[in-house]
Structure 1
């Protein structure tokens, strides 16, 4: 156990507990008013992750690693429960038991994938079994490229159809990230032979360019939504939520580049 373990744990929990909290709010907003039990469950998860987020900020890098290990285990339990709730919700939607709810099945699958990612990361940290860098580069990019592709699709469907130019841009991003995801899956299937530094470096460089463009698009959309300058049914917090996840992906790409080169990478943001 080390300060690195504490720092990484707190970083993951602070970021993803806020994401889980916001997922709970978005679910609440998308359910029908008569779905009182499901709404109550979502609101309870909101309170749980709000408390976790607050507690995470009470810890410091000097906190005893054993205390962080216990905290991670408690967070893991909470994330496991919200994952089960999200999959239950997905089942209800796919079996047409929530007609009229404003929740895309892909959205619920998307947020359950993020919960599972968070849960797995907590387990890896507590077990001290983080992936080797070459494996992590491919796995993290496969995960986040799909997340970014989903975001583009959601934005395109939640913008008002009359926002034709923005809808078109969102569709272009969706297509771009679908192709990047397929490339990442190809690289994945070629493991371990594909895990050379030149190939992984090019992989990161290519993805960074597209993620940066999508991040900037999200930032523009967020600012326009907050200023009420475009027509959509996108909640301002949702616009900021997807922007932060793109920022997170860029940070991860930058971290991997440093690991490959052993040098501080030049900021491209």
Structure 2
């Protein structure tokens, strides 16, 4: 029988290593031609996470736990390294030492995701698999902000003439900001908030909103791939944000299943 820690570790690495690789690509595309050192560093991270993906293919859910824990530790180092790179880029940007085409919020956004990935690997190596009520709220705060950020990026990268889509993106940004603030409020109410009915309603509300945003991203991705709308959105970026919405829905399902078991 597969070890759940092994299974979850492989799943996290499979999803987030691809995300990290794509982050490095998006950063490299946003730098100006003379920022060769930063572009070279980004390309090195693309190669690093490609090699992690190649090594990942050698493991199965029946792999030895100790081998997976060792692999987790190696990938943790890679996630921590790309986090440091992203924070360096953000610092250079905010201090106006470099100017490029990546929004500061986007650089901060992708660094938060790297920190999340590294933390997940650390937790798994500590044997932490099943979510606690605290984790449910905190993880939703994290992902709700990610979804709000995505809506903001889409709104800014669409051509201004795409008025209807821009308006929809702004509406999603507002909705997810409100959901995030609501989650922060719920977090501050602990331990009173740690009741199944409240958490179940919280998750259900988020699921409905994320599914709606996921569908919007899916439509946008299809329109971009078919060259039917005007934007500066790379087709891979459109797919990237769609996959992250899908991931959030999967995590909500895991949390709901965990609440039913407790």
Q: Name the structure 2 match of 1:197.
A: 196
Q: Distance in 1 between matches of 2:94 and 2:175?
A: 28
Q: Stretches of 4+ moved more than 6 A in 1?
A: none
The aligned residue for residue 258 of structure 1 is 257
Report if the CA contact (8 A) 1:158-1:233 is conserved: yes
User: Is residue 28–residue 42 contact of structure 1 (8 Å, CA) maintained in 2?
Assistant: yes
State the secondary structure of the residue aligned to 2:57. Answer: helix
Structure 1 CA distance for aligned equivalents of residues 160 and 214 of structure 2: 22
Deviates further, 254-263 or 133-142: 254-263
The alpha-carbon deviation at position 136 of structure 1 amounts to: 1.8
TM-score by length of 2: 0.97
Distance in 2, matches of 1:194 and 1:254, equals 20
How far does the alpha carbon of each residue in 1:126-148 deviate from its partner, in whole angstroms, 9 at most, with x for none? 11135642122111101000000
Instruction: Summarize deviations over 1:19-75 as a string: whole Å, max 9, x none.
Output: 000000000000011000000000000000011122112210111110001000000
- After superposition, the CA RMSD in angstroms is 1.2
Q: CA deviation at 1:256?
A: 1.1
1:158 matches 2:157? yes
Q: State how many pairs are aligned.
A: 261
Question: Whole-Å Cα distance in 1 between the matches of residues 129 and 6 of structure 2?
Answer: 14
Gaps of 5+ in 2: none
Question: For residues 132 and 214 of structure 1, what CA distance do their matches in structure 2 show?
Answer: 24
1:28-177 superposed matches below 5 A: 28-99=28-99, 101-130=100-129, 132-177=131-176
Q: Is the 8 A contact 1:14 1:57 kept in 2?
A: no
Equivalent residue number for residue 235 of structure 1: 234
User: Distance in 1 between the 2:139 and 2:91 partners?
Assistant: 27
Question: Any stretches of 5+ residues in structure 1 without a counterpart?
Answer: 264-269
Q: Does structure 1 retain, via aligned residues, the 8 Å contact 2:21–2:46? A: yes
CA contact (8 A) 2:131 2:258 kept: no
